[in-house]
Each structure stands twice: as C-alpha cells, then as structure tokens.
Amino acid sequence: MSTPPRRPNILFAFADDWGRYASAYRQFEGANSLNQLIETPNFDRVAREGVIFQNAFVPAPTCTPCRSSILSGQYFWQTGLGAILHGAVWDETIPTYPLELEKNGYHIGYTYKVWSPGKTHNAPYGADRTRYEPAGTHYRHFSHWVTERAKEVGVEAAKQELYAETRQNFDAFLAARPADKPFCYWWGPTNTHRTWEQGSGKALWGLEPDDLEGRLPAFLPDVPDVREDVADYLGECLALDAGFGVLLARLEEIG
C-alpha cells in the first residue's frame, strides 16, 4: 500500500528589495562588509538549517514583474498584463502556485504585500478573500510607525506592539484553517522597499552611520547622507528579521 504524499505547511516570507544584507553572509565576504555591522539571527537560522544562495539570479528584480514570476514560475513577460504594476489582469490559464495548492487541499492566505491575479478587489487570491490583517498593517511602515509611537511608550515597547501585530495576523490565518488542511502563508512586508524614517537606523537600532564609512558598495558615494540612508535601510533589514523570528517561533509552538 502506497504512502500518501507528504503535504508540508509552507511559510513564504518575501521582502521587496532586501538584498544580500544579513549576518549569515559574513562568511562569504571580507571584514569590511556591511554585514559585519548587523545581526540577523532568524535569517541566519534558516540559512544554517536550509540553504543560502551565494550567487542567485532573477529575471525581473523589482516589484510586480518579480512577483508574477514567483507566483507562476514563468518569465515575467510570459505573464502578460499580470506583470504590470497598475490595473493588472491575470490570464487565468496561467497556473499559480497558491491556487494550485488550494485546489489540492491547502488553506492559503497572506499578510501585507502580494500581487493578485485578476483585478485587485475581486482577485481569486489576494484582496479580501485570502487577506489576514485584523491586527493592522503597520509593520511594513516600521520605522515611521515606531518613531511616532515611541514618543508615547518608548522605542522597545513600540517595537513589541508591531511584533504582536505580526503574530496576531498569522494567528488569524491559522484560526481560519480547517483542522485537516495544510497551509501556505505569504508574509510580505515592504520595510526595505522605500520609504523609511530618516535617522531611524541609529535611533531605533543603534546603527551609527559613521561606522559605514569604507563599507558601502562601490556604486554608492561614501558621503554622510548616503551612509545615513544605508544605515536606515539596514535598520529595516533588522525589522524584517525580527518579524520573521516571530513567525518562526509561532511555527515551533504549533509543531
């Protein structure tokens, strides 16, 4: 008698514009890299227990074209109008992995940014049918929100409120899942996809812009304004890693 195929639960974490900036990459770079300045324990754990890419390629590195390729497994130009940013209409004859999983018994859903085949408000997934955001959508505006909220409760307490948002949105998705179904959940905060609060890298994460001197990529001018902007960007990388850690901890809790 054949064994039924294994149907694992799937957590797909997708961050717009998060480049090769994680402490796991220190092993491949010199002591003068930006990755010497940050700690991303949750990303590092997945890299350590799974796979880390040293040389990855993408046919469409930005925005909707990239997501249309991820969803379909095809080149973005093959997805036609589904690869444009505004007013996209998806060709329903093109298979997409969330819908294929749903047809095969998966509970699917997302929080924050994903692209939806079809027009935004009546898409077969995306939009309201599979959106789970009852706790809010502030996480993807992390530095803006924490900077304002910290005026009342302090930085660490403000961060904890956003970590709770991430957990509660995921919990809402899990609560809606029938007990006999595996799940596929897309977590897509846009922290590293502008904009972010100027000076937030230092104010929220203790990243000193001057410490970036001599570490910037060659294509960026090594001047104070750019160092501060990159420090702020790295702060958003740390915010993403922290939120990712919330989800990993929840996965461990549910087994």
The pLDDT tens digits of the residues spanning 143-189 come to: 999 999 999 999 999 999 999 999 999 999 999 999 999 999 999 99
Q: How far apart are alpha carbons 192 and 176 in whole angstroms?
A: 29
Look at residue 4 and tell me if it is in a domain.
no
In a domain? residue 26: yes
Domain membership of residue 129 as a residue range: 13-50+106-254
Name the maximum alpha-carbon separation found in the chain: 67
In a domain, 230, yes or no: yes
In a domain, 19, yes or no: yes
| Residues 30-57 pLDDT 10s | 899 999 999 999 999 999 999 999 988 8
Question: Which residues touch 141 (CB under 8 Å, ≥6 apart)?
Answer: none
The Cα–Cα gap between 32 and 36 comes to: 7
Residue 235 lies in a domain: yes
Q: What is the pTM of this model?
A: 0.92
Is 196 contained in some domain?
A: yes
Structural domain total, the chain = 1
Residue 214 lies in a domain: yes
Residue 128 lies in a domain: yes
